[in-house]
Amino acid sequence: MSGELVDGVVPPSVSNRANVLEVENLRVDFPTDDGLVRAVRGLSYTLAPREVLGIVGESGSGKSVASLAVMGLLPKNARVSGQVRFGDENLLGLSESALARYRGEHIAMIFQDPMTSLNPVYTVGWQIAEAIRAHRNVSQRAALEKAVELLRLVGIPQAADRVHNYPHEFSGGMRQRAVIACAIANDPDVIIADEPTTALDVTVQAQVLESLRIARERTGAAMILITHDLGVVAGQADRVLVMYAGKPVEVGTADDVFYRPRMPYTLGLLGSLPRLDVGGRRRLTPIQGSPPSLINLPPGCPFAPRCPMRQPICQQEEPELRPTDHPGHLAACHFSDSLVGVAPSDLFRPTARDDVLPEDAGDSAAPEVTA
């Protein structure tokens, strides 16, 4: 990594730090004609070297806005506060020219739509080569040779020929793998993958996820994997952060979140996920209703209007993340202790309630809670 000064800032090495990235009390607001949109309302997390942190939630939960804030790519009208620390530097306090030194070389991003991420008028190889030359003093020929190597690494067949193709000559899955190649071109410390498998069929998703795994092994990078697909997170993430209405509502290891959830919203997400590892025929148990408006949030817990467990305190006081019975497992629920051993079907109604299968029959009332 270069020690070149940029606006008085020396990009630090993070190899000896406990955390490669630290986000503290990140807030993002957007003023609109209808009012202030509070897109991110106090997000904090750490990312250790080589760790994969999965961030999940419904559309509008703030997960993608938070990642764009980390990269400094939000529109000018965004109001951003908090801290995003890479090494000893708060990235939120840097100028655009200083931030450009970090993007690509230290923190890289994979966007969800590869067709808009790649310029249609330049070849794929040229674009990867330019990403390399933006941070490395190498010739165009050397950069193009590196581009071939990277395309081969992420599984593009006949990479030496394909490097001269334009984006429209690649399939959707190949374009996404080309974007991954571009992201790892400079061996970044952190890769942010924002919905990398959206709009891809299941087979191609598996290929792209394998390319991501290879990319992480090749670079040694930590990764933030942003998705609404819990199946993707289950197979990739070390830790999981669940977001709702702009705030984290549960954080823990993948095992904690998937097998010991302590927040009703997390249970609802899990109940909406088709499972192949559970015997018998089970109906999905989706969450009723819609997420709240980020302009006019309800008082108390924002999930309360959709929560079968809600009590008066839930509509009066918004819970903060607090420890559960497992170290490092946090949940934002007044009654998280009441969720021990509770399954999604114990809390939410199954689909097509008038045609419940025999093994789904029984009392589906929410568990009792103690205020």
Residue 80 pLDDT > 80, yes or no?
yes
* Strands in the chain per DSSP E: 21-32, 35-47, 52-56, 79-86, 89-90, 107-110, 190-194, 222-227, 239-244, 247-253, 322-323, 330-331
Given this chain, do its domains 21-237 and 242-360 carry the same CATH topology?
yes
Q: What is the mean pLDDT of the chain?
A: 88
- At 132-169, the pLDDT tens digits run 999 999 999 999 999 999 999 999 999 999 999 999 99
Residue of 255, 236, 307 whose CA lies nearest to 50: 236
The pLDDT of residue 11 is 43
- At 237-268, the pLDDT tens digits run 999 999 999 999 999 999 999 999 999 999 99
Domain ranges of the chain: 21-237, 242-360
State pTM to two decimals.
0.88
The CATH class given to the 21-237 domain equals alpha beta
- Ordered DSSP codes for 141-206: HHHHHHHHHHHHHTT-TTHHHHTT--GGGS-HHHHHHHHHHHHTTT--SEEEEESTTTT--HHHHH
Which strands form 247-253's sheet, in the order they lie side by side?
Answer: 107-110, 190-194, 222-227, 52-56, 239-244, 247-253, 330-331, 322-323
Which CATH entry fits the domain spanning 242-360: 3.40.50.10540, 3.40.50.300, 3.30.70.1140, 3.40.50.2300? 3.40.50.300
Band (pLDDT 50/70/90 cuts) for residue 352 is low
Q: Whole-angstrom Cα distance, residue 70 to residue 86? A: 10
- Ordered DSSP codes for 356-368: --GGG-S--PPPP
